[in-house]
Amino acid sequence: MSTDIKKLYGVGTVRAAAYARLGIETVEDLLAHYPRGYEDRGDVRLLSEFEEGKKTSHILVIGTEPKSTRIRGRLSLLKFRAYDESGICEITFFNQEFLRNTFVIGESFRFYGKVETKGGRYSMTSPAYEPIHEGKELPPLLPVYPLTEGLSQKQLAKDMKSAMVLAACWEEEDPLPEEIRRKHRLCPLAYARRNIHLPESFQALATAKKRLIFDEFFTFSLGLSLVGSKTTRAAAPACRRGDIAPLLDQLPYALTGAQQRVIEDIRRDMAKPIAMNRLVVGDVGSGKTVCAAAAILIAVQNGYQAALMAPTEILARQHYADLSALFKPLGISCELLVGALSSAEKKRIHSGLCAEDPTNRIQVVIGTQALLSEGVTFSSPGLMVADEQHRFGVHQRATLAEKNHLSHTLVMSATPIPRSLALSLYGNLEVSNIDEMPPGRQKVDTFVVNEDYRQRLNGFILKQVSEGGQVYVVCPSVETTEEEEADLTLDEIDGEGRLCRKLPLKSAVSYAEQLQTQFPSLSISFLHGKLKPKEKDVIMQRFVSGETDVLVSTTVIEVGVNVPNACLMIVENAERFGLSQLHQLRGRVGRGKRKSYCVLVSEATGDSEKSHDRLQIMRSCYDGYTIAEKDLQMRGPGDFLRNGSGGALRQSGGVRFRLAELCDDSELFQIASEEAKSLITADPSLSASPGLMAQVCQMFSLEEGTLN
């Protein structure tokens, strides 16, 4: 399985370099490069049953001999006619004269592509084709893979078949213990691999997906147990002074009971000579920043420095504005370090951070990834705080921890995690939940509507802006669907092999253009994750300052700044989001004095009644933890694994899930976790399961032998 990808027939240096960009270097890597969706070629229709603008599958008999015509220099056309009982179709291929002898009169082919009609005649241009031979079934579903520059679907599919042939020849032992596999009715690994890439049926695909998702959960749980058992807590300065009364005296409100409990957890941890490694989880607006401020004050009172890293410059500036106002009256020096500063300013801050003389030393620094630059060193490190920690890559967090060595660590997340999952997700990490909102925080009225309300919704947008408010519109995709998009995606196949079609996605780009046309007097901007960080900061700053009336965005705004003037949140294709993510998005409004609203737009009716019922929960429930539990019950753990909607498991560092984020089975993770614990209890070093140990090391990016 560790054979170099270049050993596959036809894979040279250039294609191997393209594979490397996808993280594929071995045959095993290639087999784990799962499809993002499938072409549904098994849904064969008559020509008269085609769908406008969609690719469809048709079995046609060749009716005329292919003829080639040369036009405009080197361009050639190959044309012929084929038919079924409902009509005749003219088929055209460009620059493919070599196909002349492929299509013989009287033979049947399965053609797949877009059918067009003109003057009552059917036509197809450059469709995919497969000859039909008696006794040989054609695959109903063909994979569509994530690509990169230099790779085509055709090349990848060909190489995948070669890799599968090799894997079948090796007849490797299934690493999952037989008793676990049989107990939970999981298919063999070889069957799963074959049917995730070339499914025999929808049911076979669902069976394969379940096994591969179980493997990811099982391997992850094994890794957490093994890593936790080998981890020794690092040393850190014991911060025994912990008088936060001077900080609390400045606050215009009293702390909630939850905040007091969390600060007590932090105070107790930091008083020990071993490193605190605590995660603080709480809803947007629950008061996590005050807890971080208390931790920073404790570090400074004991003569140590503290660093807080935020994922964006605008969020770093907001933290700096809030915290420096609290620390200045206490005589604590606080600086902001972001990429936009001048070289002279950066040099001054670098010098202040590494100053040996306490009178010249910067005590608190708040910044972005600029904190990771080479010039940043701390003379007396004591505390590292990472806000919205899942937004940072493992290497970024590791770099900051290295710079802030021998220090305590506090990470914060605004994604409430279901209590039933927290222990399994975080292993040995200490978790503090802020499960109580400050008094007086307004509830955001929430509505679930469909397209019939579009005109009224547009009027509501105008009303809010005319009264001085601002509006967020969140769409699930950046741009309209690309060419080569799959007919169906992996998450449209449920656990029973049923096809659950999803509604087309509304794109941020096209919707922003549409709104600007409808409302020429409004200032409308759009924001998405593909923009450069500086571009995102500029766009967001314009919204914060009130220059932009309506911000159309993807979910990048769920981690964001405080915009008290924003009073309306509209979420398009709301059925595509997890409840916890919708709750986070709703938390972006209602942060000021304006009455605020959240409108979830969804056409989820009929077959999607479950999605509709799920969205109705948002109308009456405002507690993030209750919502998270309901989300887990109704959608499974998948939403808690996605980087974009909480990214809980990113905390483990370096772990990459390929399919588990599609899991809609709320029990599968728990079963895998329990089986992993039982196996570790029986065989603490996995000495009897070298295949499983290899999988753990690969998932956690560890060298073989590290955990032995």
What pLDDT shows up at residue 402? 65
H/E stretch holding 585:
helix 579-586
- Strands (E) in 440-523, as ranges, are 445-449, 470-474, 488-489
Structure tokens at 333: 């020096």
Place of tokens 């039909």: 132
The neighbouring-strand residues paired with 83 are: 61, 88
Distance of alpha carbon 541 from alpha carbon 340, whole angstroms: 14
- For the chain, counts of helices (H) and of strands (E): 21, 23
What pLDDT shows up at residue 644? 40
Q: Which residues contact 82 (CB under 8 A, 6 or more apart)?
A: 60, 61, 62, 63, 88, 89, 91, 103, 109, 111
For residue 609, name the pLDDT band (cuts at 50, 70, 90): low
Distance of alpha carbon 108 from alpha carbon 102, whole angstroms: 11
Report the predicted TM-score, pTM, of the whole model to 2 decimal places. Answer: 0.81
What pLDDT shows up at residue 654? 53
Length of the chain counted residue by residue: 708
pLDDT of residue 610 exceeding 80: no
Q: What is the mean pLDDT of residues 194-210?
A: 95
- The region that residue 420 occupies, defined by phi over 0 for left and psi between -120 and 50 for alpha, beta otherwise, is alpha
What pLDDT shows up at residue 360? 92
For residue 705, name the pLDDT band (cuts at 50, 70, 90): low
CATH for the 245-272+286-413 domain, from 3.30.200.20, 3.40.50.2300, 3.40.50.300, 3.50.50.60: 3.40.50.300
Q: What is the mean pLDDT of residues 564-572?
A: 94
pLDDT of residue 641 exceeding 70: yes
For residue 411, name the pLDDT band (cuts at 50, 70, 90): confident
What pLDDT shows up at residue 643? 46
What pLDDT shows up at residue 285? 79
pLDDT of residue 652 exceeding 60: no
Torsion, Cα of 203, 208, 213, 215 (10° steps): 150
Chain region(s) in the chain for CATH 2.40.50.140: 42-138
pLDDT of residue 499 exceeding 80: no
Chain region(s) in the chain for CATH 3.40.50.300: 245-272+286-413, 445-621
Q: What is the mean pLDDT of residues 508-533?
A: 86
Q: What is the mean pLDDT of residues 256-267?
A: 95
Kindly tell me the sign of the dihedral angle through the C-alpha atoms of 399, 404, 407, 408.
Answer: negative
Distance of alpha carbon 285 from alpha carbon 698, whole angstroms: 38
pLDDT of residue 639 exceeding 90: no
Task: Give the DSSP letter of residue 708.
Answer: -
Q: What is the mean pLDDT of residues 440-455?
A: 89
Q: Which residues contact 427 (CB under 8 A, 6 or more apart)?
A: 224, 225, 227, 228, 652
What pLDDT shows up at residue 229? 64
What pLDDT shows up at residue 581? 86
User: What percent of the chain has a predicted confidence (pLDDT) above 70?
Assistant: 89
Q: What is the mean pLDDT of residues 552-576?
A: 84
What pLDDT shows up at residue 476? 82
What pLDDT shows up at residue 389? 55
Structure-model confidence comparison of residues 547 and 400, the more confident one: 547
Structure-model confidence comparison of residues 405 and 568, the more confident one: 568
Distance of alpha carbon 280 from alpha carbon 292, whole angstroms: 9
Q: What is the mean pLDDT of residues 601-629?
A: 80
pLDDT of residue 336 exceeding 90: yes
Per-position b or e across 293-317, b if 16+ CB within 10 A of its CB? bbbbbbbbbbebbbbbbbbbbbbbb
pLDDT of residue 480 exceeding 70: no
Identity of the highest mean pLDDT range in 459-468, 551-560, 583-592, 642-651? 459-468
Structure-model confidence comparison of residues 418 and 108, the more confident one: 108
User: For 343-367, how does the pLDDT look when each residue is reduced to its tens digit (9 = 90+)?
Assistant: 999 999 999 999 999 889 999 999 9
pLDDT of residue 116 exceeding 60: yes
User: For 58-76, how does the pLDDT look when each residue is reduced to its tens digit (9 = 90+)?
Assistant: 999 999 999 999 887 778 9
SS3 sequence of 133-183: CCCCCCCCEEEECCCCCCCCHHHHHHHHHHHHHHHHHHCCCCCCCHHHHHH
Out of 134-148, 596-610, 656-670, which region has the weakest mean confidence (pLDDT)?
A: 596-610
For residue 647, name the pLDDT band (cuts at 50, 70, 90): very low
Distance of alpha carbon 301 from alpha carbon 482, whole angstroms: 56
What pLDDT shows up at residue 614? 86
pLDDT of residue 606 exceeding 50: no
Topology, domain 42-138: OB fold (Dihydrolipoamide Acetyltransferase, E2P) (2.40.50)
For residue 645, name the pLDDT band (cuts at 50, 70, 90): very low
pLDDT of residue 417 exceeding 60: yes
Q: Is 445-621 CATH 3.40.50.1000?
A: no
Structure-model confidence comparison of residues 285 and 600, the more confident one: 600
Out of 157-161, 410-414, 680-684, which region has the weakest mean confidence (pLDDT)?
A: 410-414
On average, the pLDDT of the chain sits at: 87
**Which amino acid, 625?**
Y
pLDDT of residue 369 exceeding 90: no
Distance of alpha carbon 361 from alpha carbon 355, whole angstroms: 5
User: For 160-189, how does the pLDDT look when each residue is reduced to its tens digit (9 = 90+)?
Assistant: 999 998 887 776 788 999 999 999 999 999
Kindly tell me the sign of the dihedral angle through the C-alpha atoms of 434, 438, 439, 444.
Answer: negative
Out of 157-166, 676-685, 696-705, which region has the weakest mean confidence (pLDDT)?
A: 696-705
pLDDT of residue 605 exceeding 90: no
Backbone dihedral angles phi then psi of residue 576, each to the nearest 5 degrees: -80, -10
pLDDT of residue 608 exceeding 80: no
